[in-house]
């Protein structure tokens, strides 16, 4: 099961069971109908022969090529369960070609510890050693000082201060895959000595390419240009922004919730809108914020789940409720989907004036992740189950492993 998707406290200890803390605004279940299978009863000898063929040749009725293509699209957790069918299935589902291409799900969060220095990684459901080495030891031969700036899918955007640079603030940037221990150093921009905001975009459904966006704007000088790096060409391209003048300077400087979705990068702005640009720098949009925002002074946060773009925001001080919307289309039509009441959600754990923040949404199910000054929890919006996943507050960067070789790999 995905984290928080059911089961008994998969993330750790269950906080409590109480009446729903969520108002569902669109809970109509769609009818499902499954056509009956043909009523064919094979003879005993034929049934025995078929059972023997399935045990020894699981792909007897399908050519190997189509079967590999089917299994490569099966979620990785399901693929692991298929290994228990028989020894032939174990061998088939353990194939590196299938395993690398199998869709992964959220496995944990990279975060900076509040009591200890350095980068950390917390597994979901929270047991066992980290799935990846949070120290990124495979990079330490090149540099001792490495900072993770952003995570997108299975790739990390890292910063390495350049000690050889005359300009102290100048740094090297690179993209790495901690699951395969590969990395690519990004070539320098045409404006040396300036530090800009970098954003990596990677879609596991199209693993042959990643892109990096850079807003070439500094205080007092908004050039309106965006640099786009493509792993296919290994080069930067520089395009003039087609957003309204000054928009780049309006991007929320504190946000970590930029979203790469459908080949397009999305950023929230300080004016509660969302601006987008595609990987080619050809399609530029600004999407108006939901009309029913409860707090116009607080920026919205964005994320993606189950192929859709979500936005969320707390109401004003003391911030007792969380509102969530889903984007219906790129004309700016948002639908309010949930209202979460923090006092009901946390029950006896909640005190007036407590500060809660939603920092992520699960990519494959209706589970959200929140933190306060004491703990980090997951909350299932469907069954109203609250699980404590970590006894410390974290603002984690969601990580989905990618076992595909990094495109344009340099090391």
| Together in a domain, 150 and 176 | yes
Domain that holds residue 83: 66-103
Model confidence at 309: pLDDT above 90 = yes
pLDDT score recorded for residue 277: 96
What's the DSSP call for residue 372? -
Q: What is the predicted pLDDT for the residue at 323? A: 94
27 within domain boundaries:
no
Whether residues 301 and 258 share a domain: the answer is no
Last residue within a domain, chosen from 74, 103, 132: 103
Which pLDDT score, from 0 to 100, does residue 146 have?
83
Residue 398 near residue 106 (C-beta atoms within 8 A): yes
Give the contacts of 33 (CB within 8 A, at least 6 positions apart): none
pLDDT in tens, 255-308: 567 999 999 999 998 888 999 999 999 999 999 989 889 887 778 999 999 999
End position of a domain, from candidates 103, 122, 153 = 103
User: How much is the pTM?
Assistant: 0.76
Give the model's pLDDT for residue 337: 96
Q: pLDDT by residue (tens digit) across 4-48?
A: 444 444 444 444 455 566 666 654 444 444 444 344 444 455 555
User: In this structure, are 137 and 226 located in the same domain?
Assistant: yes
Looking at the structure of the chain, the number of domains it has is: 3
Domain boundary among 88, 103, 118: 103
Question: Span 211-221, mean pLDDT?
Answer: 79
> 408 vs 49, 143, 177, 210, 353, CA distance in Å?
49, 20, 12, 9, 49
pLDDT confidence band for 165 (50 / 70 / 90): very low
In a shared domain, residues 149 and 252? yes
Q: Which residue has the tokens 């792909």?
A: 59
Residues 365, 370, 376, 377, CA torsion sign: negative
Query: 72 and 193: one domain?
Result: no
Residue among 357, 323, 326 nearest 340 (CA): 323
Is 264 part of a structural domain of the chain?
yes
What is the maximum span of the chain, computed from C-alpha positions, in angstroms? Answer: 83
316 in the same domain as 265: no
235 within some domain: yes
Kindly state whether residues 267 and 160 are assigned to the same domain.
Answer: yes
Cα separation, 164 vs 170, whole angstroms? 9
Q: Is residue 1 part of a domain?
A: no
- Residues 269, 132, single domain; the answer is yes
Q: Return the pLDDT at 166.
A: 43
pLDDT at 395: 84
Rg for the chain, CA atoms, rounded: 24
Find the Cα–Cα–Cα–Cα dihedral 6, 339, 258, 219, rounded to 10°: -150
| pLDDT digits 0-9 by tens, 325-362 | 999 988 889 999 999 988 777 765 666 666 778 999 99
Asked if the structure places residue 357 within a domain, the reply is yes
Claim to verify: residue 277 and residue 301 sit in the same structural domain? no
> What is the CB neighbour count within 10 angstroms for residue 370?
21
Q: Are residues 146 and 81 in the same domain?
A: no
The mean pLDDT value for 164-177 works out to 71
**E-assigned strands of 207-273?**
210-218, 221-230, 235-240, 259-261, 264-268
Q: Is 223 a member of any domain?
A: yes
90 lies in a domain? yes
Higher-scoring residue by pLDDT: 400, 74:
400
Are 99 and 193 part of one and the same domain?
no
pLDDT of residue 47: 57
Residues 309 and 260 in one domain: no
């Amino acid at each position: 099961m995905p984290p928080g998707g059911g089961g008994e406290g998969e993330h750790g200890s269950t906080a409590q069971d109480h009446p729903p803390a969520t108002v569902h605004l669109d809970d109509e279940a769609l009818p499902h109908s499954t056509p009956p299978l043909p009523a064919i009863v094979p003879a005993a000898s034929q049934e025995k022969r078929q059972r023997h063929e399935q045990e020894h040749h699981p792909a007897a009725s399908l050519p190997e090529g189509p079967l590999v293509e089917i299994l490569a699209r099966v979620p990785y957790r399901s693929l692991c369960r298929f290994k228990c069918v028989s020894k032939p299935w174990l061998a088939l589902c353990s194939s590196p070609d299938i395993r690398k291409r199998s869709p992964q799900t959220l496995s944990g969060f990279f975060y900076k510890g509040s009591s200890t220095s350095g980068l950390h990684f917390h597994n979901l459901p929270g047991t066992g050693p980290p799935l990846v080495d949070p120290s990124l030891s495979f990079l330490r031969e090149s540099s001792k000082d490495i900072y993770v700036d952003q995570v997108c899918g299975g790739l990390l955007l890292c910063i390495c201060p350049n000690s050889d640079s005359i300009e102290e603030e100048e740094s090297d940037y690179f993209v790495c895959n901690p699951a395969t221990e590969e990395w690519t150093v990004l070539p320098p921009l045409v404006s040396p000595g300036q530090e800009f905001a970098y954003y990596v975009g990677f879609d596991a459904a199209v693993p042959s390419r990643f892109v990096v966006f850079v807003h070439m704007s500094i205080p007092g000088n908004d050039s309106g240009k965006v640099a786009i790096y493509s792993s296919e060409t290994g080069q930067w391209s520089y395009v003039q922004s087609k957003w309204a003048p000054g928009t780049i300077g309006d991007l929320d400087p504190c946000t970590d919730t930029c979203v790469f979705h459908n080949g397009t990068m999305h950023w929230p702005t300080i004016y509660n809108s969302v601006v987008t640009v595609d990987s080619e720098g050809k399609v530029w949009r600004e999407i108006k914020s939901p009309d029913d925002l409860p707090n116009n002074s607080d920026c919205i946060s964005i994320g993606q789940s189950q192929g859709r773009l979500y936005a969320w925001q707390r109401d004003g001080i003391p911030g007792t409720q969380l509102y969530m919307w889903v984007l219906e289309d790129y004309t700016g039509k948002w639908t309010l989907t949930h209202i979460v009441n923090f006092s009901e959600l946390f029950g006896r754990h909640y005190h007036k004036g407590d500060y809660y923040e939603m920092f992520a949404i699960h990519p494959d199910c209706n589970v959200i992740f929140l933190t306060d000054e004491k703990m980090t929890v997951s909350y299932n919006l469907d069954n109203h189950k609250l699980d404590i996943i970590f006894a410390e507050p974290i603002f984690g960067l969601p990580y989905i492993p990618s076992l595909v070789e990094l495109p344009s790999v340099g090391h």
